[in-house]
Structure 1
């Protein structure tokens, strides 16, 4: 499996803090272990000679165990862990609370725990964990009230209480597990470690997770991207956090808040994200038990018209494809259905349908090459046996490669049939919309499997020049740069208009004449972020007016903010916007996922429309191209309403070049190019502002 195999398949488990005292955690863990574990269980407690009819040890070092479960008070836990490490016990589950989650001394205690784990190379779960379960070995090292049923789903949770609730709920729905981990404080082993381990485990078909945070987003993306190429990973992520206070410094920062970062990170990793516990296990059961669809079309076979319409609506909402059945399929359906039935999709076999009609209709539909998946909806009638239908569907599933979502719209009458289908890996649903959403998970994961990850392009750039520009913040009053840093874009091959920054009316006149034609004039001040709001930008300035406009811009800036640093005025070549589209290209460095590249519709209303998308850098060519697909304004870029399409290749290349810039220089905390004007002839960056961390230079 991986280096964590000893954690889930130990031969000998020591419970440190074992006791027979009623209501205690030590007793609950011992009872759970001795009930089903195939290996040896040894109690450790210096106050007892025997517990659970077996010898009791004074010290974990004496046990010869390969897994230690620690339930002693927090003050004693560190000594136990050190003793285990010195004895060569590599796997430790710390159920004890009173560590980082309690603050103060607990935080210091957790730091010491991490030091011990690093010193002895421990695979340590917790602290503050419910424990772990592994059904192949019968291991239940938790203090939960019940064990898991066996299955091929491995599940991790940042909430121990959620694990106990899931075990109780899943047992009634015939959902089984391979491994279960209560992550606790994630002081040593975290979600990335278990995704990697379960991705290598042949007993795990699907990885599910309830997460409140991801400790190292960049490592998680790298690991999960490899795992999801073969094993689906589905998570529900709770705990929405506010974007940091620095986010207001740029449009990108304001848009790329914490939740957007998680969305980009999980999507980039190929992880499917759901919004509820119900969806988490609906998707998990479907992904574990059913094959991936081999065609795009979805068919509905139902004995009730209303639920068939519900399923049809759900297919539309899910952006799936309700297939048009071929002529041969409709003719074959006409041969097996009554005249009053519908041979079109959804296929309504009407309410008097016996199980044989269901079976024949579904067989005909699945023979259609356009059908990649089917939804079967059965309502209880006097002519239909749910149990017989379950047996026929189970047999059919053994010979077909298409997934089937089964909706048994009944109560107690459907229970036995649901058990039969669950045993065959066919999950059942009461609500057709749930069945359709679960099918959508198969299509979404199919898309993940079809992704071809490519190495990002490396462009020939001038890193030395870029570094010189970024170093301007060293010793400065703050760490922001504006249009005085346009040379940074030139250094990385991102086109900019001809321009210069001047500090006098005479120089303004000279530069304007050298550019030729009307120009744009902008106040240059790192303290004035929104120049248009203060009248700091004038467009279409003629040669005759340049000197006067220079004085006007300086006066406006002084009146607006007397203490602002005024570096001068930028004289910039006019760019024709008539055939162009204003876009935004930016960067926000997330504390979990690292650099996030943003692209979308730009201009002064970027935060109003929020038509943007994010990717975790570095961004490959195909990922950059997909960013254009993601935004609602994509048709505008591609020639809507008779417009000439913009140079899409130039946009894709510019996204990649910015990705390389922010990857090369971790000191860039935030960056906006707004607008980046995309035209039929290429792109041009009109404005820039960025925030730099001088300590990372």
Structure 2
């Protein structure tokens, strides 16, 4: 039994605000409880002697002990009702009542008081503004929804009550069954992470699905989901995709790593599967709740219809799966067993006159092949084929070989009996072959999440105090921004930078240049001028004897462009050979839910145009950093494409990890760009730096 037993398996339930008034939420919840729940139900209402035949008590403290309280009283008395539940020794509370933080102002203050009450009494609290909770094993329908779902192994959480009622109504027409259902509401106390942890430990929950608009604590969710998805698959629809985070950001990294990229990265690292629609969500759930993942990604397709076979093959090509290449023995056996007109390569086309025996033989041979991990059986209706018989053959062969098989019996009414047979055996059937392949793909993704082992992030020997003192310079800067004058921040964390310095007069510029072998690059340093190249604020290949004059020229250009700009000086920096190297970008952006996000990709002046980047939630391991490098489309450039000498990828991976440690160590860093980070055969060099600091967190 889990920590939330009283929520999902209560011995008794009180309805605070129960009433028999027609059309009321209090009546609906009481009636729903009476329909299925076998334990005591205690209506609480000082204005009623009874509700729907049940004796009322004026206060929950006046009645018998209960495990779970459902609160449906008006918002101005709901907090006191929760306190009374705590005084009565209740363990869990579901607050149905709305009028809290979703209304702002007084509602938000009311929700704070509700949270405080729950903390004081150590209550497991769902809501407020919740549809309620259901638990089919307990016969518990503590919602004001119209239906109790069939019992099954899917547990559902949702930030939308309407989503739950619509899904359960739709599921009632099909073959989906549910174990627990929770409407999260405002998530004042318990949230998606708590439910994930609870259901992940529940051996009777085969798959967790959900609809979310936000995640309260992204870092905690990722940490929990990583553990859960090693045993239990999790599939979510994440709604509310927005570019607002990117629009509000001021740096390249901020524009790239907006809110949606944060969710994409965080959920991916956690092993959580994303669904773009309700259909995708429950297509995946049906496969995951009935079948074990295949041992390999090779798929065999058996069909009596050429066109649907091609569609299935295309769908496999669009997934992480692959069309299995049959072993020679399998190919020979298929050629001997099938008619001459049949296609015995993958996909296997048993042709339109195939009966059940031919399907069975083809499927048996395919599943016997060591290169086949799973199979899709696609069939169009014919006069010589009974779908019920084909369903029995599929179930028989699937059980015999222990490999997942999903079907696409295309048709309408004639598929109903076959679907029932398949469903009893845990074999999902989909009208569309692409949906069948998506089911297998969900199984493969779960296998990958289950097998994934993430090492602990590496901790480097760094100079934190030096870094802190550099970040403190932002206190006196407009917009709390720092630039190349703070390159020693990177050096404090072991990130290589070219020799050079920021100077404030021509003579100092000449002295720095004299200590650098060869010509130098000179850049105006001003927090008010972002695109320095556009105003002539950068000069490349400056000889030592020209450095002093170039200093004066750069300052003059900056003054002419923006007379009121703050000019901190000029950076004098050793030149880096870009011909033999690749310009990348490495940055970080702090997301409100997930914390620091790392961005790596193709850099330089086209970074936002090309959008070739990978994003991860920090901190990350070396394996995750290497995944980022391999994930971008420009990765071949780093590995020596078209005769180029390969870059030192190990140095890139280490630099990503060092920046991960920096932004994890200092939550005050809101945004940071190293653009470009030049990656060459001899290592990396951070050429430019730009960051924004939340000085209140220093």
Task: Label 1:390 to 1:38 Cα distance change in 2 as closer, same or farther (>3 A).
Answer: farther
CA distance in 2, matches of 1:260, 1:237: 12
Instruction: Report the 3-state secondary structure (helix = DSSP H, G, I; strand = E; otherwise coil) of the residue aligned with 2:373.
Output: strand
Count of paired positions: 697
Q: How many angstroms does 1:246 deviate by?
A: 7.7
| Conserved 8 A contact 1:70-1:95 | yes
CA distance in 2, matches of 1:420, 1:160: 32
Q: How many angstroms does 1:247 deviate by?
A: 4.4
Instruction: Report the 3-state secondary structure (helix = DSSP H, G, I; strand = E; otherwise coil) of the residue aligned with 2:443.
Output: helix
Instruction: Report the 3-state secondary structure (helix = DSSP H, G, I; strand = E; otherwise coil) of the residue aligned with 2:605.
Output: coil
Deviations 1:380-410 (A, max 9, x none): 1111111111222223333332111110101
Q: More deviation in 126-135 or 42-51? A: 42-51
Structure 1 residue 16 corresponds to structure 2 residue 16? yes
Q: More deviation in 392-401 or 360-369? A: 392-401
Q: Which residue of 1 aligns with 2:348?
A: 347
**TM-score, scaled to structure 2:** 0.98
Q: How many angstroms does 1:245 deviate by?
A: 7.5
Q: Which residue of 2 aligns with 1:55?
A: 55
Q: Which residue of 1 aligns with 2:218?
A: 217
CA distance in 2, matches of 1:115, 1:668: 31
Instruction: Report the 3-state secondary structure (helix = DSSP H, G, I; strand = E; otherwise coil) of the residue aligned with 1:43.
Output: strand
CA distance in 2, matches of 1:588, 1:380: 55
Instruction: Report the 3-state secondary structure (helix = DSSP H, G, I; strand = E; otherwise coil) of the residue aligned with 2:565.
Output: coil
CA distance in 1, matches of 2:377, 2:43: 52
Q: More deviation in 475-484 or 256-265? A: 475-484
Instruction: Report the 3-state secondary structure (helix = DSSP H, G, I; strand = E; otherwise coil) of the residue aligned with 2:156.
Output: strand
- Which aligned pairs between 1:393-542 and structure 2 lie closer than 5 A? 393-542=394-543
Instruction: Report the 3-state secondary structure (helix = DSSP H, G, I; strand = E; otherwise coil) of the residue aligned with 2:137.
Output: helix
- Which aligned pairs between 1:95-244 and structure 2 lie closer than 5 A? 95-244=96-245
| Conserved 8 A contact 2:126-2:184 | yes
Deviations 1:524-547 (A, max 9, x none): 112212211221111111123212
| Conserved 8 A contact 1:14-1:63 | no
Q: Which residue of 2 aligns with 1:310?
A: 311
Instruction: Report the 3-state secondary structure (helix = DSSP H, G, I; strand = E; otherwise coil) of the residue aligned with 1:571.
Output: strand
| Conserved 8 A contact 1:509-1:547 | yes
CA distance in 2, matches of 1:155, 1:665: 37
Q: How many angstroms does 1:221 deviate by?
A: 0.8
Q: How many angstroms does 1:596 deviate by?
A: 0.5
Q: How many angstroms does 1:291 deviate by?
A: 1.0
- Where structure 1 has 5 or more consecutive residues not aligned to the other structure, the ranges are none
**Over aligned residue pairs, what C-alpha RMSD do you find?**
1.3
Deviations 1:332-379 (A, max 9, x none): 222332221111100001111111211121111000000011111111
| Conserved 8 A contact 1:151-1:176 | yes
Instruction: Report the 3-state secondary structure (helix = DSSP H, G, I; strand = E; otherwise coil) of the residue aligned with 2:646.
Output: coil
Deviations 1:26-66 (A, max 9, x none): 12111211111132222222222222333222111223110
Q: Which residue of 2 aligns with 1:671?
A: 672
CA distance in 2, matches of 1:46, 1:545: 91
Q: Which residue of 2 aligns with 1:287?
A: 288
Structure 1 residue 362 corresponds to structure 2 residue 363? yes
CA distance in 2, matches of 1:683, 1:104: 51
CA distance in 1, matches of 2:359, 2:246: 59
Instruction: Report the 3-state secondary structure (helix = DSSP H, G, I; strand = E; otherwise coil) of the residue aligned with 1:20.
Output: coil
Deviations 1:615-669 (A, max 9, x none): 1111110000000111000111111101111001000000001111111111111
Instruction: Report the 3-state secondary structure (helix = DSSP H, G, I; strand = E; otherwise coil) of the residue aligned with 1:515.
Output: coil
Q: Which residue of 2 aligns with 1:640?
A: 641
Deviations 1:104-126 (A, max 9, x none): 32222211111111111111111
Q: Which residue of 2 aligns with 1:380?
A: 381
CA distance in 2, matches of 1:248, 1:33: 49
Q: How many angstroms does 1:318 deviate by?
A: 1.5
Q: More deviation in 153-162 or 475-484? A: 475-484
CA distance in 2, matches of 1:262, 1:244: 12
Instruction: Report the 3-state secondary structure (helix = DSSP H, G, I; strand = E; otherwise coil) of the residue aligned with 2:515.
Output: helix
